[in-house]
């Protein structure tokens, strides 16, 4: 599961991470987002120590969602060295998601 942490800004979160960051942009009312949550728990378990999984509620942080042009939910944005390296809209099965993420970890 994603770890709850407080940061002064989203940029601080990205800058302080020693590993790539997978951000799940979601909303509590979004059914597909709830499906993605269990997949992300498995991703976190399988890639523990290699990536950080962060969840951002677009209703609570609309400015961050707007900054990254989030128009569909769920949207996963994968950051490496503070830059976006992949973006996934909608639900993706665990095996396909792991394949895409691992391609950026080499």
pLDDT in tens, 7-62: 678 888 898 899 999 999 999 999 999 999 999 999 999 999 999 999 999 999 99
Closest CA to 75 of 45, 104, 39, 32: 32
73 catalytic per annotation: no
Catalytic residue from among 14, 23, 33, 76: 33
User: Is pLDDT at 82 greater than 90 in this prediction?
Assistant: no
CATH of the domain at 56: 3.40.30.10
> Dihedral angle at the C-alpha atoms of 15, 67, 91, 21, nearest 10 degrees?
0
47 given a catalytic annotation: no
In-domain check, residue 51: yes
Instruction: Tell me which residue range forms the domain holding 77.
Output: 10-101
Report yes or no on 21 lying in a domain. Answer: yes
H/E segment holding residue 53:
strand 52-57
- Number of domains the chain contains: 1
Position 52 in a domain: yes
Residue pair 42/98 in contact (Cβ under 8 Å)? The answer is no
38 within some domain:
yes
CB 57 within 8 A of CB 10: no
């Amino acid at each position: 599961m994603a770890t709850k942490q407080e940061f002064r800004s989203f940029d601080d979160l990205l800058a302080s991470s020693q590993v790539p960051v997978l951000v799940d942009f979601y909303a509590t009312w979004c059914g597909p987002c709830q499906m993605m949550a269990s997949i992300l728990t498995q991703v976190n378990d399988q890639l523990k120590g290699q990536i950080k999984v962060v969840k951002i509620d677009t209703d609570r942080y609309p400015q961050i969602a707007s900054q990254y042009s989030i128009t569909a939910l769920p949207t996963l944005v994968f950051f490496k060295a503070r830059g976006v390296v992949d973006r996934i809209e909608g639900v993706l099965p665990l095996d396909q998601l792991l394949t895409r993420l691992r391609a950026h970890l080499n």
